[in-house]
Amino acid sequence: MSKKSDPKNEKDDSKRDFLVVSTYALAGVGAASFVWPLIDQMNPAADTLALASTEIDLSSLEEGQSITVKWRGKPVFVRHRTPDEIKQAKEVLIDDMRDPQADADRVANEKYIVLVGVCTHLGCVPLGQKTGDIKGQYGGWFCPCHGSHYDHSGRIRKGPAPTNLEVPSYKFLSDTLIRIG
Amino acid sequence: MSKPKFNNPVVKWIDYRLPIFTFMDHELNHYPTPKNLNYFWNFGSLAGIALVTMIITGIVLSMNYTAHVDYAFDSVERIMRDVNHGWLIRYIHMNGASFFFIVVFIHIFRGLYYGSYKAPRELLWILGVLILLLMMATAFMGYVLPWGQMSFWGATVITNLFSAIPVVGESIVTWLWGGFSVDNSTLNRFFSLHFVLPFVIVGVVILHLIALHRFGSNNPIGIDVKGTQDTIPFSPYYTIKDLFGLGVFLTFFAAAVFFFPNFMGHPDNYIEANPMVTPAHIVPEWYFLPFYAILRAIPDKLGGVLFMFGAIAVLFILPWLDRSPVRSSQFRPIFKIFFWVLVADCILLGYLGAMPAEGIYVILSRIATAYYFFHFLVLFPLLPYIEKTKPLPISISEPVLSGAATASAFATREKK
């Protein structure tokens, strides 16, 4: 095509450039649209996403007791707090905390604290659900993996975890029945 | 190099059309190698043999393994109890991973001591660091497959490292898991990747060897080969030396496989994975401990992750961090001392990674981490300005032929 180097050919060249660029662009879009399914197949599948909800009966949970239930493959902690624990959780100054949050914002009924039992550092299950467990310096939960201390409200007080223990979405169906999810 | 003579007519016929025999003769037989290599130069070929061992035993194991959360643990137990020689194959594979890392770590420290990463071998070194990274990924995913407690919680902790990435971290972790926790999807993809990554490693090893054969091996003196008087053919001299080293290596390897097969493992991994209970003390495999100690030394989630990956990243840029023109530590009196401090520091980090993250261990981890980065980022670039290096010999042959009298005329490294 570019036999001669006269002004007419410059026009040809810019036409050629346009064709080349648009071909590459189209091939790029094509390749990307093929790669995306290959990447996205690793995301949670429809059956995994189908939100499983769990109902928990709290009537047999005495003051000072905790239970762990499984929700979305993760443990959920429910603790029936003692008046002393509630008092500590409510009265402590939140300004110095890493992730300041009032206890009232973390509970629906202050007697029961419901938490996703997964340390926000690297995903271990903190100790503190059983009577003999180490509960850490603040009496709530303690993650044995890298030493994060959580208080009675599941707030991070000391250690490497960046945020408080997550509160899952849940609601009270009656005074002693909750549904998580 | 002259063309080799083949007498076998079949070999001749093939080689004329596909010069594979000429190639092998050139790279494995006549390949000129510095004549002063010591036993630390055995560890490259040992690493290659370890890789092949892992691939062979791994393929055989995969024929008996089931990648499903309900069956994985039991299928591994079946390999141990019912499959013919399954216990042997699995113990070889399990201990083979540890021995592969032992060999590679020695290989890396050899490179550090003798300055094998310096020009013109920068890419050779970088490819090696890439192999180390691939090995770590492969080993980590392999450790998840038996689906014991350490498998599960190790996978949980390590994949959660990515949640430290700002904004997209959580989505990346969900993507890695294929769910909201480490589960069946995670196990399946880890099995798939654990199977394929070793072949990727083989590919990078081939590039590593091509880069190696471009300029040949470095040597204990660290000066360039001047001519044929400085080299000997690879075969039989180094084939026999490598084989002898292999015999010693296999003695230790067999001792571990037959007498202490679980010494480097963790008993908790013989308990089936339970997503509801974290073991009291999660420890990664020993070869990750120094990096794990660095992760825990930093009291910030993102910071810890960055420093841990940074510990590997500094290795990639090492050829440009070290400003000294002298390769071998033999001629760098101060560097030589600090080299051993670095070795001790890495061993200390490994010890600290196995200890609980509290009290004195945290403080020591921070000191050891600080030293690690000081060594690479401050010492390597600045030491050449302070250190007075010893005079280099004229050639590889010279120190041997002229006794102890090294030519002091050549105080600096000769031009390439």
Q: Which residues of B are catalytic?
A: 213, 217, 241-242, 285
Question: pLDDT confidence of A39, banded at 50, 70, 90?
Answer: very high
Comparing C-alpha atoms, which of B163, B161, B159, B164 is closest to residue B182?
B159
A146 tagged catalytic: yes
CA distances from B198 to A35, B76, B167 (A): 23, 20, 32
Contact with chain B for residue A145, Cβ under 8 A: yes
Interatomic CA distance for residues B239 and B383, integer angstroms: 37
pLDDT at B97 over 60: yes
Would you tell me how many other CB atoms lie within 10 Å of the CB of residue B20? 11
pLDDT at B184 over 50: yes
In this structure, of A72-81, B107-116, B232-241, the range with the lowest mean pLDDT score is: A72-81
Interatomic CA distance for residues A5 and B416, integer angstroms: 47
Tell me what pLDDT residue A80 has: 92
Interatomic CA distance for residues B225 and A163, integer angstroms: 58
Spell out which residues of chain A touch residue B277, defining contact as CB-CB under 8 Å: 125
Question: pLDDT confidence of B4, banded at 50, 70, 90?
Answer: confident
pLDDT at B62 over 80: yes
Spell out which residues of chain A touch residue B299, defining contact as CB-CB under 8 Å: 160
Tell me what pLDDT residue B410 has: 44
**Can you give chain B as a three-state secondary structure string?**
CCCCCCCCHHHHHHHHHCCHHHHHHHHHHCCEEECCCCHHHHHHHHHHHHHHHHHHHHHHHHCCCCCCCCCHHHHHHHHHHCCCCHHHHHHHHHHHHHHHHHHHHHHHHHHHHCCCCCCCCHHHHHHHHHHHHHHHHHHHHHHHCCCEHHHHHHHHHHHHHHHHCCCCHHHHHHHHHCCCCCCHHHHHHHHHHHHHHHHHHHHHHHHHHHHHHHHCCCCCCCCCCCCHHHEEEHHHHHHHHHHHHHHHHHHHHHHHHHHCCCCCCCHHHHCECCCCCCCCCCCCCHHHHHHHHHHHHCCCHHHHHHHHHHHHHHHHCHHHHCCCCCCCHHHCHHHHHHHHHHHHHHHHHHHHHHCCCCCHHHHHHHHHHHHHHHHHHHHHHHHHHHCCCCCCCCCCCHHHHCCCCCCCCCCCCCCC
Please answer yes or no on whether B176 and A75 come within 8 Å at the CB atom. Answer: no
Tell me what pLDDT residue B409 has: 42
Enumerate helices (H) and strands (E) in chain A, giving the number of each. Answer: 3, 9
The stretch B227-250 carries a mean pLDDT of 94
pLDDT tens per residue across span A102-148: 988 899 888 899 999 999 888 889 998 888 888 888 889 998 888 88
CA–CA min distance A161, chain B (Å): 7
Interatomic CA distance for residues B253 and B264, integer angstroms: 12
pLDDT tens per residue across span B375-403: 999 999 999 999 999 999 988 887 777 65
Amino acid present at A157: R
The stretch B122-127 carries a mean pLDDT of 97
Residue window 115-154, chain B: list those with CB within 8 Å of chain A: 153
Interatomic CA distance for residues A137 and B290, integer angstroms: 28
Helix (H, G, I), strand (E, B) or coil at A66: strand
Tell me what pLDDT residue B227 has: 87
pLDDT at B160 over 60: yes
Contact with chain A for residue B306, Cβ under 8 A: no
CATH code for residues B31-284: 1.20.810.10
Q: Running DSSP on this structure, what letter comes out for residue A104?
A: G
Tell me what pLDDT residue A51 has: 63
Spell out which residues of chain B touch residue A125, defining contact as CB-CB under 8 Å: 276-278
Tell me what pLDDT residue B412 has: 44
In this structure, of B146-150, B207-211, B357-361, the range with the lowest mean pLDDT score is: B357-361
Tell me what pLDDT residue B282 has: 82
pLDDT tens per residue across span B364-374: 999 999 999 99
Query: Token pair for residue A8?
Result: 């007419």
pLDDT at A1 over 70: no
* Residue corresponding to tokens 């490292």: B161
Q: Give the residue extent of every domain in chain B.
A: 31-284
Q: Which helix (H) or strand (E) holds A54?
A: strand A54-57
- Asked if residues B329 and B335 have their Cβ atoms less than 8 Å apart, the reply is yes
Question: pLDDT confidence of B135, banded at 50, 70, 90?
Answer: very high
Rounded (5°) CA angle B119-B211-B317: 45
Tell me what pLDDT residue A47 has: 82
- Asked if residues A96 and A139 have their Cβ atoms less than 8 Å apart, the reply is no
Tell me what pLDDT residue B278 has: 85
- Asked if residues B174 and B180 have their Cβ atoms less than 8 Å apart, the reply is yes
pLDDT tens per residue across span B25-48: 999 899 999 999 999 999 999 999
Q: What is the value of pTM for the model shown?
A: 0.86
Tell me what pLDDT residue B404 has: 46
The stretch B314-322 carries a mean pLDDT of 96
Instruction: Count Cβ neighbours within 10 Å for each residue of A96-109 and write b for 16 or more, e otherwise.
Output: eeeeebebeebbee
Interatomic CA distance for residues B188 and A41, integer angstroms: 13
Q: Which of A80, A121, A146, A152 is catalytic?
A: A146
Question: pLDDT confidence of A7, banded at 50, 70, 90?
Answer: low
In this structure, of A85-89, B34-38, B78-82, B258-262, the range with the lowest mean pLDDT score is: A85-89
Per-chain mean pLDDT for chain B: 92
CA distances from B278 to A153, B75, B92 (A): 21, 23, 28
Per-chain mean pLDDT for chain A: 86
pLDDT at A85 over 50: yes
Tell me what pLDDT residue B2 has: 58
Interatomic CA distance for residues B288 and B266, integer angstroms: 14
Spell out which residues of chain B touch residue A162, defining contact as CB-CB under 8 Å: 300-302
Tell me what pLDDT residue A92 has: 87
Contact with chain B for residue A50, Cβ under 8 A: no
